[in-house]
């Protein structure tokens, strides 16, 4: 099973998908990210391991590596996902 994460805030047009992809790869994850019509970004990650997902999200929120990201995440929602792992930005 996979995990779906919805990021809300200033997340489109600011390098969010690439930023998240860098942290996903650093955690050994694969998946995809897509800009949504409501201004959010949907990330599909190829794991349902809560520890890995929480570590990934902690990195995305705190940016310990200092990756370039010109937006701001105000809120996010995590849920299990049982579908195809894809997106318009694949990592």
Looking at residues 1-22, what average pLDDT do you find? 97
What CATH topology corresponds to 2-84? Alpha-Beta Plaits (3.30.70)
Give the pLDDT confidence of 31-77 residue by residue, as tens digits: 999 999 999 999 999 999 999 999 999 999 999 999 999 999 999 99
Task: Grade residue 87 by pLDDT with cuts at 50, 70 and 90.
Answer: very high
Distance in angstroms (rounded) separating the CA atoms of residues 39 and 84: 22
CB 14 within 8 A of CB 68: no
DSSP codes joined into one string, 22-71: HHHHHTT--EEEEE-TTS-EEEEES---HHHHHHHHHHHHH-TT-----S
Quote the pLDDT of residue 46: 97
Residue carrying the six token digits 């995990």: 3
In order of 45, 49, 76, the CA distances from 86 in angstroms are 9, 19, 19
Task: Grade residue 9 by pLDDT with cuts at 50, 70 and 90.
Answer: very high
């Amino acid at each position: 099973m996979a995990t779906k994460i919805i990021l809300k805030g200033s997340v489109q047009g600011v390098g969010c998908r690439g930023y998240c992809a860098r942290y996903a790869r650093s955690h050994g994850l694969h998946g995809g990210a897509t800009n949504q019509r409501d201004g959010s970004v949907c990330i599909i990650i190829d794991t349902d391991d809560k520890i890995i997902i929480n570590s990934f999200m902690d990195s995305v929120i705190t940016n310990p590596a200092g990756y370039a990201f010109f937006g701001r995440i105000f809120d996010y929602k995590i849920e299990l996902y049982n579908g195809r792992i894809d997106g318009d930005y694949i990592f």
